Amino acid sequence: MADWISFWDTQHSIYVNARHCDVHYRGIAEDLRRYVPAPDAVVMDYGCGDALHAGIVAAAAGRLILVEAPPGVVAALTARFAGARNIDVVTPARLPEYPDHGIDVIVLHSVAQYLSAEALDVLLLQFRRLLRPNGLLIVGDVIPPDLSTLADVMALLRLALAHGFLGAALLGLARTLTSDYRRLRATLGFARYGAAAMLAKLKAAGFSGERAPRNIGHNQARMTFLARPM
């Protein structure tokens, strides 16, 4: 995980241009907004990334807690949302400070693939402590064992075609072939879970889960799971 944290703290080329980054985060925020249960809800987005449109989620909630690890990303988030009355930016080390059963919704989107199975187990137990008895855990962008890289590429190209950055996407894919991201993915790999395996992992941490009808974000070949404390 430390290698991935270092990667996300660099000027990487995952987003092919500003348009891609904007569309990516706007889509996630609009999807997440639908899961905010009430205007006074407390929402935690763990591993939120750049969270360019976190304001969309915050506008539907009482409080939004953005959790990130890379120092540069934390600094950028802190600056971006300095004037937001109901958005807090914290590091994972701050989680033990939060009281038991005080959060309504926790989001873990596009993070599970970067964690070892053991690290994910530990994190799910932390979430179980933090969530209210009727709270909701959203685990998004889970990669199935049989999903090919080509499927991810096609999902990106469809998004790019729909939003006017196809040329930049093609150039970005070419750059990725020689990038640190490709090297890390080849050496460290991605954690992958079938639906049954993810549901079993959630159950072991004290959750009753189900697969959502659609994945959060643009890539519908990946999976989102919805889980509640048992």
Domain spans in the chain, listed from the N-terminal domain onward: 2-218
Which of the four pLDDT bands, split at 50, 70 and 90, describes residue 6? confident
pLDDT digits (tens, 9 = 90+) for 164-195: 999 998 888 877 766 666 666 666 668 999 99
Of the given ranges (1-10, 67-76, 145-154, 165-174), which has the lowest mean pLDDT?
1-10
Each residue's pLDDT tens digit, 101-141: 999 999 999 999 999 999 999 999 999 999 999 999 999 99
Q: Choose from 7-11, 149-153, 222-226 the range with maximum mean pLDDT.
A: 222-226
pLDDT at 8: 65
Is 131 within 8 Å of 160 (Cβ atoms)? no
Question: pTM of the prediction?
Answer: 0.92
Higher-confidence position of 8 and 45: 45
DSSP the chain: -HHHHHHHTS---SSSSHHHHHHHHHHHHHHHHTT--STT-EEEEET-TT-TTHHHHHHHSSEEEEE--SHHHHHHHHHHTTT-TTEEEE-GGGGGGSPTT-EEEEEEES-GGGS-HHHHHHHHHHHHHHEEEEEEEEEEEEPPTT--HHHHHHHHHHHHHHHT-HHHHHHHHHHHTTSHHHHHHHHH------HHHHHHHHHHTTEEEEE-SS-SSS-TTSEEEEEEE-
Predicted pLDDT at 185: 64
Partner residues linked to 226 by β-bridges: 138, 210
- 2-218 CATH pick, 3.40.50.150, 3.40.50.10440, 3.90.550.10, 3.40.50.2300: 3.40.50.150
